[in-house]
Chains A and B, each alone.
Chain A
Amino acid sequence: MAVSGIPFLEGRYSPTFDLWPIEAKEFNRIHTFYENLREGKFTTTKCKQCGRESYPPRVICPECYSDELQWIELPKKGKVKAVVEKLGGVPICFEPPLIDAWIDLGEGSPVRHVLSRVINCPPESLKEGDEVQLVVFEVPSHPIEIRRETIMAERVFFAFEPAKK
Chain B
Amino acid sequence: MTERNACIVGGGMCKWGVREASYIDMVQEAAKECLDDIPGLKPKDIDGLLFASAFVGRRSVQANTAPVVAERLGLKPTSICARVDVLCASGSTGILLATGLVESGMSDIVMVVGGEKLYTPERWQVQYDEIAAIDHDWDSPQGIGPPPIWFALTAKEHMKYYGTRREQFGTVSIINYDYGFSNLKGHFQRQLTMDDVLNAAEIAAPLNLYDCCPLSDGSATVIIASEEKAKELSDRPPVYILGGAQTSLHSVTANWPGDHLGDWPHLRLAAEKAYERAKIDSKEVDVAQVHDCFSISEIIELEELGFCPKGEGGPFVESGQTKIGGSIPANTDGGLISCGHPFGATGIRQAMEILKQLQGRATNQIEDAAVGLTHNLSGVNVEHTIVIYSREPRK
Binding site for B on A (CB under 8 A): 18-21, 55-56, 81-86, 89-94, 98, 100, 102, 111, 113-117, 139, 157, 159
Contacts and interface: CB of A to CB of B under 8 A. Distances in A.
8 contacts: A19-B131, A82-B156, A84-B153, A100-B153, A111-B254, A111-B255, A117-B142, A159-B142
A121 to B, nearest CB: 13
Given A56-B254, A85-B205, A115-B153, 12 more contacts: A18-B131, A19-B136, A82-B157, A86-B143, A86-B148, A90-B143, A91-B143, A98-B149, A100-B144, A102-B157, A111-B255, A159-B142
Contacts of B261: 82, 102
User: 3 smallest A-B Cβ distances: which pairs?
Assistant: A21-B137, A115-B253, A19-B140
A81 B128 CA distance: 27
Contacts of B205: 84-85
A94 B137 contact: no
Contacts, number: 83
Contacts of A98: 143, 149
A85 to B, nearest CB: 7
A83 B261 CA distance: 12
Given A55-B255, A91-B146, A115-B139, A84 B204 contact: yes
A91 B131 CA distance: 10
A89 B143 contact: no
Given A91-B127, A115-B150, A55 B143 contact: no
Contacts of A92: 124, 127-128
A83 to B, nearest CB: 8
Contacts of A86: 143, 148-149, 203-204
Interface string B102-127: 00000000000000000000001001
Interface size class of B (residues with CB under 8 A): 20 to 34
B33 to A, nearest CB: 34
A91 B252 contact: no
B55 to A, nearest CB: 14
A139 to B, nearest CB: 8
Contacts of A157: 141
Q: Which of A83, A84, A93, A98 has the most CB of B within 10 A?
A: A84
A116 B150 CA distance: 11
Contacts of A94: 143
B145 interface: yes
B256 interface: yes
B252 A100 contact: no
A117 B140 CA distance: 11
B130 interface: yes
A4 to B, nearest CB: 12
A10 to B, nearest CB: 17
Contact of A93 (B128, B138, B156, B254): B128
A93 B146 CA distance: 12
Contact of A91 (B130, B153, B156, B256): B130
B148 to A, nearest CB: 8
Given A19-B141, A94-B143, A117-B143, A56 B252 contact: yes
Contacts of B138: 56
B152 interface: yes
A34 B307 CA distance: 46
A114 B153 contact: no
B254 A55 contact: yes
Given A84-B205, A102-B153, A111-B255, A91 B145 contact: yes
A20 B252 CA distance: 15
Contacts of B140: 19-20
B203 A89 contact: yes
A89 B149 CA distance: 12
Contacts of B146: 91
A20 B261 CA distance: 25
Nearest to A18: B131
Nearest to A118: B142
A83 B150 CA distance: 10
Interface in B151-194: 152-153, 156-157, 160
